[in-house]
Every structure is written in C-alpha cells, then in structure tokens.
Amino acid sequence: MSATCDVVVLLSGTGSNLQALIDSTRTGDSPVRVAAVISNRADAYGLQRARDAGIDTRTLDHKAFEGREAFDAALIELIDTFKPKLVVLAGFMRILSADFVRHYAGRLLNIHPSLLPKYKGLHTHQRALEAADAEHGCSVHFVTEELDGGPLVVQAVIPVELHDSPQSLAQRVHVQEHLIYPMAVRWFAEGRLSLGEQGALLDGQLLAPSGHLIRT
C-alpha cells in the first residue's frame, strides 16, 4: 500500500460524486484523502458536503477574472497550496485552458456521463435515447487538451431499457458513476494507475482504448 494520496476535488454543483468519493475513503484502509474541495460557485451544494465531512473548502468565482487563462492561473495557485497528488473533476462546469491541463498532466481525472468517445459535451442521456442506443453508461478518463477526449481508464456499461427517459437513464448512470470514480481514484492512489505515452496504464499494462469495462 502506498502512502496517503492527497486529492483536491473541483466541482460546480451538488457533489454526488464527491460524496461517493468521501464515503469510499471511510473504509479504514483507503489510501485516498480528500484534502480540499474547490468550487467556482459559492452556492454549490458540494461545498456543504465537504464541510459536513470536515474537509477544507474554497470558492474561486470565475466571474471575478478577466478570462479563462487568468481564472485558471489563480485556480492552479490555489490548488497547489494543498500539494495534491491528484486533481479530480466532479461536475466542474468549466472548460479548462491548455496551461491548466498541462500543469496537471497525468494527475487530472474526469468523469463523463456517456460511453466516450460517444456524446462528448452535454445532454448525453437524451442523445443516447435519440440515437436508439442499446447501451449507455459513464467513463472515467485522464484529462487532456481535447474536451472529454483523454485516455479512458474505466467505463461502466448499462442496458438502455424500453421505457427509459433521460431522467431514468441519468439516475441509473449516476449509480455507476458512484462506483467507478472512487475505484479509479483508488487505483491512482495505490500507484496502480498512471498515464503513459500510449495511454492509460493499469498495473503497468496498457489499457484498451475503451478502458477497463464493467457491464451491469
């Protein structure tokens, strides 16, 4: 088991994936420690979740900055005061600058509610239904300069059911998000997961382009 891995979580909303991560660290043998939670929105409920768990919180309002680069530079400075080994995006509704992504290359993870490379961006559940997909799910990936395009770590695949709505599909995908995101973070904390030149590596082996697949 490796030493404790300090993680900083960035979010803009309710923080359900943050809560799943916090819950996963309470097993007693977890190498993950959420050192801080940072939001660009002071009203994000995820900040309250963090405070309830005794985790340091910070707010950095993007509207107080002249542009994306200025905000990201201040965000880097703030994150680095906590000296994290890993930065986790958990519903952080900001497109990150190239400088930010490069600064955290190989230690920046995101979760996206689709089976990437399908449905980058928003409204993924609606788009999966409109395409009459038989399967849908979520993906954890390393963040690169390509939006929702970094090397895949793990994907959870669920069947699309006959009477699914975007809401019912989202609900079932959320359940899977809350399983695979803490798992991927733990792999990283244990030194099992890394980003190599060819893609994501798990236990020294190059993962398939689709990442580690979990079917339900």
The helix or strand, by DSSP H or E, that contains position 14, with its residue range, turns out to be: none
Gap between the Cα atoms of 105 and 184, Å rounded: 16
Is 85 within 8 Å of 6 (Cβ atoms)?
yes
Q: Which helix or strand (DSSP H or E) is residue 212 part of? A: strand 212-215
Give start and end residues of each alpha helix (H) in 26-153.
45-52, 68-80, 98-103, 124-130
Catalytic residue among 112, 136, 141, 212: 112
Q: Biggest alpha carbon distance in the chain?
A: 49
125 is catalytic: no
Q: Give the Cα separation of 96 and 45 in Å (integer).
A: 22
Distance (Å, whole) CA 49 – CA 45: 7
Contacts for 188 with CB less than 8 Å, ≥ 6 apart: 5, 85, 86, 107, 109, 194
The runs of H, that is alpha helices, within the chain are 16-24, 45-52, 68-80, 98-103, 124-130, 166-189
Written as one letter, the residue type at 82 is F
Catalytic residue list: 112
